[in-house]
Chain A
Amino acid sequence: AQTVTQSQPEMSVQEAETVTLSCTYDTSESDYYLFWYKQPPSRQMILVIRQEAYKQQNATENRFSVNFQKAAKSFSLKISDSQLGDAAMYFCAYPYSNQFYFGTGTSLTVIP
């Protein structure tokens, strides 16, 4: 089975500050997508951001951006100007051979 590693089970950030969540993965493919999903207390899975591996430019969605290091197989999520609504579980994920693999998640707490 493919592996996706999120080494930070829990993190906290002060409101309005910046936080980075880390993710590493293992694939032998050269072209693929990478994803970050957010799961708030409602349990709904919400797409935060998507990165295409063949693109050199890091993806950005408003306050969310990624630092994609293809050679290192690293895909971290940066949240700028953190807000109380950002408190959630965050999952890194990627597809491989028709399946989808998720990390174990990072629980983010936002401190007012």
Chain B
Amino acid sequence: EAQVTQNPRYLITVTGKKLTVTCSQNMNHEYMSWYRQDPGLGLRQIYYSMNVEVTDKGDVPEGYKVSRKEKRNFPLILESPSPNQTSLYFCATSPLPSGTDTQYFGPGTRLTVL
């Protein structure tokens, strides 16, 4: 079954404690991306990757890091989480490197930073 998986699905943590949210896909898609969703703001892109070892900033990259060492995985790293990073996070993939085609989403990760 073609899918995008994220782990963990729910996470409560404290300010400053480093965390990683994993994202993995089995669709052999070139493009991967991270979004955060906040009430009234829709989804906003944090980082995206058009290929292995190629990553670029989206609209809200501050406080986040990513890496793309292999095609199927695209982890999101919060080195020092703060309460304003409390949000719902989505990983997504797209078949074209440009990301201009349909985005296929993971189930989401609900993060709470105390």
* A interface with B by C-beta (< 8 Å): 1, 4, 9, 32-33, 35, 43-45, 47, 50, 91, 93, 95, 98-105
**Most A CB atoms within 10 A — which of B35, B44, B56, B105?**
B105
Min C-beta distance of B90 to chain A, whole Å? 6
B contact set with A: CB distance below 8 Å: 33, 35, 40-45, 48, 50, 56, 58-59, 88, 90, 92, 98-105, 107-108
A100-B99 CB under 8 A given contacts A44-B107, A91-B42, A105-B42: yes
The reply to whether B43 and A102 contact each other, CB–CB distance below 8 Å, is yes
Complex: how many Å from CA A38 to CA B43?
Answer: 12
CA of A35 to CA of B85, assembled, Å: 27
* A104–B48 CA distance with the chains assembled, in angstroms: 20
10 contacts between A and B (CB under 8 A): A35-B103, A43-B88, A44-B107, A45-B108, A47-B103, A91-B43, A98-B56, A100-B48, A103-B42, A104-B42
